[in-house]
Amino acid sequence: MKKGINVGLLGLGTVGTGVISIIEQHQQELQHKVGCSVNVKKVLVRNLEKKRGVSLDRSLLTTNPDDVCQNPDIDVVIEVMGGVEDTKQYLIEALRQKKHVVTANKDLMALHGAELLRIASENGSDLYYEASVAGGIPILRSLADGLAADRIKKMMGIVNGTTNYILTKMSQEGSSYDDVLAQAQELGFAESDPTADVEGLDAARKMAILATLGFSMDVKLADVSVKGISSVSDRDLYYCDQLGYTMKLIGLAKRDDDRIEVSVGPTLLPNEHPLASVHNEYNAVYVYGNAVGETMFYGPGAGSLPTATAVVSDLITVMKNMKLGVNGHAVHAPLHEKVLKEDREIESKYFFRMRVTDKAGTFQAITSLFAEHEVSFEKLLQLPIEGVEAAEVIVITHHTSKENYEQLYKRLEALDVVENVESSYRVEGGQ
């Protein structure tokens, strides 16, 4: 193995700055772990004049991606620039140049991960992407290595810090969604365009990556059922609390008899559930294995240094593989054929909040409709609305199929005594 490993970076934003800081400050530890130094050889940036959070020799900066991807002196390309189509081409070029790649790009891996991993394998190159899911939490490494001997049957967790921050503040402080979102943007927890976060797309990409690795199936983003938090109201959260639940944006990947479901959506959890106590921008993932039982991974889901730590950890793995001469052998094609569950096979409990006519016979009409669909009540609240002849009915059901739930929802909306189904969410945990 060479005395020093040369790396090139694509991007020098928040994460890229953290990566360089760790490499510079941890040289002694890096040399101790893998027996050689790490040298930053070239860094792709958009603007050569921009002030950086780290001090770099200007000669290391470039605006030409070929200076990184085709540079014969560079062994490992670290991609922290984001984006999809252009970035994909840069990484394909780097892999075809027999370079190893480390990326933090969840969008890219969710959409094109299978293709990039195949190209990496064909060229004897490593491609690692731990930082693409849950920031500094080593969840992908744990699935690939620590739990490799087990059969994963369920993964459930909070994988988006922005939405967790918003729901935490709404629940604990009684603030409105719009007010908390504005606060999150001011603090840098949410982007100026928060759509990918609040509508669940960011979490869905991460769940596609987790499900692909955990189930060894080629799970696509389109396979994930997605619902965001933009319609969650303070009334919903008030009733959640009254009934002993906490709402979180939960990513769920579940396997039963080799048929899978993958979803993201606002979900009610019993207050005693460990995920209910994960607050603010923190992430946590529960993994259920046949042999190990339940394990939980918790930590910061974003930020410069937590994410950069995951990137550098992948870099260390690449360097160890170089030392052993086993690069390119960690990539495996999915073992199992992907079979998605039908709606009739997906079971859960559900929360309904309805505005109904406050008159005799209303409750009987609603209970009759639930009975017709063979859905029973686990918890029930009925409260009058002051100043009008209307009431709110809040129901948590026992388990029923998604197919049955959707049919019931439509029937409720059409029922004369129901003025509106204000909201409805999945309920997880508990008996």
Whether 206 is a known active-site residue: answer yes
Query: What pLDDT is recorded for position 335?
Result: 82
Average pLDDT over residues 343-369: 94
Q: Say whether 114 sits in a helix, a strand or coil.
A: helix
Percent share of the chain, pLDDT over 90: 73
pLDDT digits (tens, 9 = 90+) for 313-336: 999 999 999 988 898 887 777 888
Confidence of residue 297 (pLDDT cuts 50, 70, 90): very high
Extract the tokens encoding 53.
């959070």
Both tokens of 28, joined, read 């002694």
Nearest to 71 by CA among 103, 38, 97, 39: 97
- Strand ranges, E, within 207-360: 225-226, 245-256, 259-270, 282-289, 293-300, 347-357
What is the predicted pLDDT for the residue at 78? 98
- Judged by average pLDDT, the poorest of 187-201, 227-241, 411-425 is 187-201
The whole-number pLDDT of residue 1 equals 59
3-state secondary structure at position 4: strand
pLDDT digits (tens, 9 = 90+) for 2-27: 678 999 999 999 899 999 999 999 99
Comparing CA positions, the residue from 363, 368, 349 lying closest to residue 418 is 363
Confidence of residue 32 (pLDDT cuts 50, 70, 90): confident
Residue 44 identity: L
Tell how strand 152-158 and strand 282-289 pair up: antiparallel
C-alpha 322/C-alpha 45 separation (Å) is: 28
Q: What is the pLDDT of residue 55?
A: 82
Asked if 180 and 169 count as a contact pair (C-beta separation under 8 A), the reply is yes
Q: What is the pLDDT of residue 430?
A: 64
How does residue 227 score in pLDDT terms, banded at 50, 70 and 90? very high
Average pLDDT over residues 160-178: 92
144-149, long-range: CB within 8 Å, 24+ apart, which pairs? 144/213, 144/330, 147/287, 147/289, 147/292, 147/295, 149/291
Tell me the three state secondary structure of residue 80. coil
Q: Which pLDDT does position 429 carry in this prediction? A: 82
Residues 253-289: tens digit of each pLDDT: 999 999 999 999 999 999 999 999 999 989 999 999 9
Residue 413 contacts by C-beta under 8 Å, 6 or more apart in sequence?
A: 420, 421
Give the range among 9-23, 138-152, 164-178 with minimum mean pLDDT.
138-152
| Catalytic residue from among 42, 106, 169, 206 | 206
Is the pLDDT reported for residue 431 higher than 60? no
- Whether 376 has a pLDDT exceeding 80, the answer reads yes
Tell me the pLDDT band of 73, cut-offs 50, 70 and 90: very high
What domains lie within the chain, and their CATH numbers? 4-135+304-324 (3.40.50.720), 140-300 (3.30.360.10), 344-427 (3.30.70.260)
pLDDT, the chain, mean: 92
Express the helix, strand and coil content of the chain in percent, nearest 5 each: 40, 25, 30
Give 11's contacts (C-beta < 8 A, 6+ positions apart). Answer: 44, 45, 79, 80, 81, 82
